């Protein structure tokens, strides 16, 4: 399993701090904002910040899906419980309404009749 949101956010904070420190160092050297993109260290740090931010977006998407799934499970369990209670209540009504019927006597069945015609 991946890292948690808390750990990933801590990583993002550290990466942003490192990027800000590099920007401050470059500005002290007199590099303008457009010149930052030419610095390999700045590009590396900026890439790390973007990677970690992407991971946080994915974590947010997964949390949303998990929340929807948990809600669906709760609804499904409630639905099944209601269905079970309805079925249980319905079974009791049927048993109470049923009256014992007198069994009709059927003709006793004997052995099956032999085929007519026999062997030749």
Residue range 57-102, pLDDT digits in tens: 999 999 999 999 999 999 999 999 999 998 888 866 555 556 666 6
- Domains of the chain, by residue range, sit at 5-69
- Using pLDDT thresholds of 50, 70 and 90, give the confidence band for residue 116: confident
Rounded to an integer, what distance in angstroms lies between the CA atom of residue 56 and that of residue 44? 19
Rounded to an integer, what distance in angstroms lies between the CA atom of residue 28 and that of residue 42? 14
**Closest listed residue to residue 55, CA positions, set 3, 101, 117, 20:** 3
Q: What is the pLDDT of residues 7-44, one digit of tens each?
A: 999 999 999 999 999 999 999 999 988 889 999 999 99
pTM metric for this prediction: 0.61
């Amino acid at each position: 399993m991946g890292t948690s949101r808390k750990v990933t956010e801590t990583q993002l904070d550290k990466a942003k701090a490192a990027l800000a420190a590099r920007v401050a160092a470059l500005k002290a050297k007199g590099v303008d904002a457009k010149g930052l993109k030419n610095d390999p260290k700045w590009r590396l740090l900026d890439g790390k910040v973007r990677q970690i931010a992407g991971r946080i977006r994915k974590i947010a998407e997964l949390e949303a899906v998990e929340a929807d799934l948990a809600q669906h499970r709760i609804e499904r369990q409630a639905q099944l419980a209601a269905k079970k209670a309805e079925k249980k209540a319905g079974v009791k009504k049927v048993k109470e309404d049923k009256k014992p019927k007198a069994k009709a006597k059927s003709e006793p069945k004997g052995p099956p009749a032999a085929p007519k015609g026999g062997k030749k």
